[in-house]
Amino acid sequence: MRRIIAQMRKELTQIVRDWRTLALALALPVFLLLLMSSALSLTVNELPIVVQDFDGSSASNDFIDAFRASITLKVVPWPVDKSAEEALASNAGRAVLIIPSHFGRDMARGVNAPVQFLVDASDANTAKLVTAYAGQITTSYNQQGSGTQAGPIQTAIRLWFNPGLSSKKFFGPGIFVLGLSMFPPLLAALAMAKEGELKTILQVYVSSIPAHEFLLGKIIAFMIVALAECLIMSLLLFTYFGLSFAGDPTPALIATILYAFCVAAFGTMVGAVIPNQASALQAVAFGGFILVFLLSGMMFPIQNIPAGLRWISNLIWGRYYIEIVRDALLQGGGWPAVWYKVLIIGAIGTLFYGIAWHGMRRMQVKA
């Protein structure tokens, strides 16, 4: 125990001594949180729609007004003598609404009045959104115009957990997890690889501290860093992001401690297996960032990942923590919903610790 404390104290002293790196590691996630949560957005606003009105009647104006009323779309008038293709090619709009010349007359007669809607589908996601919005607007315009009442089935849609469809509330927790998955293991891996690089590990090898105690001391030190980082980011989540615990906070609190252990152990393992700072950095960037970013469901729904790769996400430690955090802050399902995820995080952390120990257990150099 005394040796573990000595090791942990030494590690913390080194971390604090290198305060620039520490400051960077603490400030970057905050920056990331602010940047990505304002840059990333689930909803689309003010998508430019080019409207080419060959009719110019009051009916066509009414119809265009329906589009103007939408907050999602922004109507951009387009002269009739310019081709619609040009509008799309020059990125003046994401779609073109072309109203033919007999629109008003056909409407008045009560016959079909076709309009053309050209959509730039180079960005599939936006194209789908624009099409859906345009369809909705047209449908409701038809209903108003014909004065017909709604059909027998009415859907009353209510948005739960995030009623304002606020992206901040969805991405906030995700980026919080991403920050935690990246920076503490990065510091841990660099510190561990440095021991091998500068050969300070030799003096440790000959001492009477066994590998598991040495690693544990190191991991605890970086757990403290992770928890400090977690604290800073949580403050931001609870204030700027306006999040609060939706239910029982204990699963998230316990999972946070286990996740701190898990990421610290991950970094330490990488540094122990790869005793070279530059390569260790790459490995952590891959594991901590790319895997957690892409395969944890933080950004992209897991069910959208191709089936052949989807199983990988079951191994990604960040996935379980994101689910727990989102549950705690949004759904509030509590222990019944997430208990096994808490256990999995602990298990993956222990696995990392085990691998690091396995590599170091002999406390010997290779050459």
Partner 1 sequence: MLRRAFLDLCWLTSLGRSQQIGEQLSEGSGPDKDIIDVERFGDRLDLLVHDPEKEQKWIAERLKGAGLSVGEMRVDEPTLDNIFVNKLRALREKADTTEFPAKQDHSRLRGQVAVGAKNLVKTFKAFTAVKNVSLDIRNGEVYGLLGANGAGKTTTIRMLCGLLELTSGTMELGGTGGNLRTEAVRKRIGYMSQRFSLYEDLTVRENLDFFSGVYGVPDQDREEKIRWVLSFSGLNGKENQITGSLPGGWKQRVAFGAAIMHEPDILFLDEPTSGVDPLARRAFWTMINRLADGGAAILVTTHYLEEAEQCNRLGMMVAGELVAEGTPSGIKSQQSGHVLEFILSQQQDQPQRAADLLRSKTENWKVSLFGERLHVFTEEDPATAIRETTKRLEENGIHVTSAREIPLSLEDVFISIVEKARAQGKAATDD
Choose between 42 and 365: whose C-beta lies nearer to partner 1: 365
**Residue 287 C-beta: closest distance to partner 1, Å:** 26
**Residue 350 C-beta: closest distance to partner 1, Å:** 22
**Residue 186 C-beta: closest distance to partner 1, Å:** 17
Q: What are phi and psi of 362, to 5 degrees?
A: -80, -15
Choose between 68 and 194: whose C-beta lies nearer to partner 1: 194
Choose between 214 and 317: whose C-beta lies nearer to partner 1: 214
Q: How far apart are the first and last CA of the chain?
A: 31
DSSP string, 132-159: HHHHHHHHHHHHHHHTPPP-S-------
Choose between 119 and 201: whose C-beta lies nearer to partner 1: 201
Choose between 9 and 105: whose C-beta lies nearer to partner 1: 9
Choose between 3 and 68: whose C-beta lies nearer to partner 1: 3
- Kindly tell me the sign of the dihedral angle through the C-alpha atoms of 108, 112, 115, 117: positive
With beta carbons less than 8 A apart as the criterion, state whether 365 and 337 touch.
Answer: no
**Residue 190 C-beta: closest distance to partner 1, Å:** 12
**Residue 5 C-beta: closest distance to partner 1, Å:** 7
- Kindly tell me the sign of the dihedral angle through the C-alpha atoms of 57, 62, 65, 70: negative
- Per CB under 8 A, residues contacting partner 1 are 2-3, 5-7, 9-10, 13-14, 17-18, 198-210, 214, 362-365, 367
Buried-exposed string 206-225: b where 16+ CB fall within 10 A, e elsewhere: eeebebebbbbbbbbbbbbb
**Residue 197 C-beta: closest distance to partner 1, Å:** 11
Q: How many CB atoms lie within 10 A of CB 329?
A: 26
With beta carbons less than 8 A apart as the criterion, state whether 226 and 264 touch.
Answer: yes
CA 226 to chain centroid:
19
